[in-house]
Amino acid sequence: MPRPSNTAERRAQIARALLKTMAERGYEGASVGAIAAAAQLAPGLVHYHFESKREILLAAVELLAQDHGERLDRLLAAAGDDPAAELRAFIDAHLRAGDSADPQALACWICVSGEALRDAGVRAAFAGALADAVRRLAAILRRGARARVFSLPRAEVDAAAAAIVAAIQGYFVLAATARELIPPGSAAGATWAMASGLLGLSSSTSTRKASR
């Protein structure tokens, strides 16, 4: 009569503990002991559920991407079928620090970018999450182009999506490290204005209202 396996939950628990710890101390600073403590588990248990610390990181990136994906799903669904509204929702989802902003996830995301530099697995996971964002955004742009909402040559959809994602990612870095450089509430608006340049929208259409 074996006890039912709880490995899945435990793994998630541990991965979340890593996120929590990593946000404060970075990946290297998040010792396995600290992770275990954050998860309120015995130290040895961590390595029962994970081969190595690096594997925890991979699971954590997975979680991060998944959380983000789900949030994006929700927000895009609320935008209905209008490409412009979807684009706006996409930008706001990332840059409007509102109710649902998550500084921990932000810090982790930047940590992960650093680890991605020197670990192929982490890079794959990180790039995968970015690729997912680009893909979703490109789909929006493509639909908008087809509907003549955006005037964007087919061939440039991917580049445009990458550019907008880059801007968002760059704002993340600034927000986490030099917030004072971003005039409060300007991020989403400025990004929308930049997107307008790419998509051939008249700036006037673009509400340049600050969004906190």
Partner DNA sequence: GATGAATGAGGCTTCATTCAT
Partner DNA sequence: TATGAATGAAGCCTCATTCAT
Whether 196 and 202 have beta carbons less than 8 Å apart is answered as yes
Q: Does 24 bind DNA (CB under 7 A)?
A: no
Residue 186, classified by CB atoms within 10 Å of its CB into exposed (0-12), middle (13-18) or buried (19+), is middle
CA 11 to each of CA 19, 20, 183, 208: distance values in angstroms, whole numbers, following the listed order: 12, 14, 40, 44
Q: Which of residues 67-86 bind a second copy (CB under 8 A)?
A: none
In whole angstroms, how close is the CB of 127 to a second copy at the nearest point?
Answer: 4
Give the Cα separation of 144 and 188 in Å (integer): 19
Give the Cα separation of 85 and 195 in Å (integer): 13
- Binding partner selected for residue 156 from DNA, a second copy, none, CB under the kind-specific 5 to 8 Å limit: a second copy
CB contact set of 109 (below 8 Å; sequence gap of 6+): 64, 172
Name the segment binding DNA (CB under 7 A); options: 35-43, 112-120, 121-129, 160-168.
35-43
Among 10, 26, 69, 105, binds a second copy (CB under 8 A): 26
Q: Does 134 bind a second copy (CB under 8 A)?
A: yes
Among 26, 47, 156, 193, binds DNA (CB under 7 A): 47
Residue 185, classified by CB atoms within 10 Å of its CB into exposed (0-12), middle (13-18) or buried (19+), is middle
- Binding partner selected for residue 187 from DNA, a second copy, none, CB under the kind-specific 5 to 8 Å limit: a second copy
Q: Does 115 bind a second copy (CB under 8 A)?
A: yes
Q: Does 107 bind a second copy (CB under 8 A)?
A: yes
- Binding partner selected for residue 48 from a second copy, DNA, none, CB under the kind-specific 5 to 8 Å limit: DNA
Among 54, 71, 123, 143, binds DNA (CB under 7 A): 54
What would the 3-class secondary structure string for 98-133 be?
Answer: CCCCCHHHHHHHHHHHHHHCCCHHHHHHHHHHHHHH
Give the Cα separation of 166 and 174 in Å (integer): 12
Among 12, 85, 113, 143, binds a second copy (CB under 8 A): 113
Question: Position of tokens 């899945």?
Answer: 8
Structure tokens at 24: 């404060």
Q: Residues interacting with DNA, by CB under 7 A?
A: 1-7, 10, 28-34, 41-49, 51-54
Name the site residues for a second copy (rule: CB under 8 A). Answer: 24-26, 28-29, 107, 110-111, 113-118, 123, 126-127, 130-131, 134, 156, 158-160, 162-174, 176-178, 180-183, 186-187, 189-191, 193-198, 200-201, 203, 206, 208
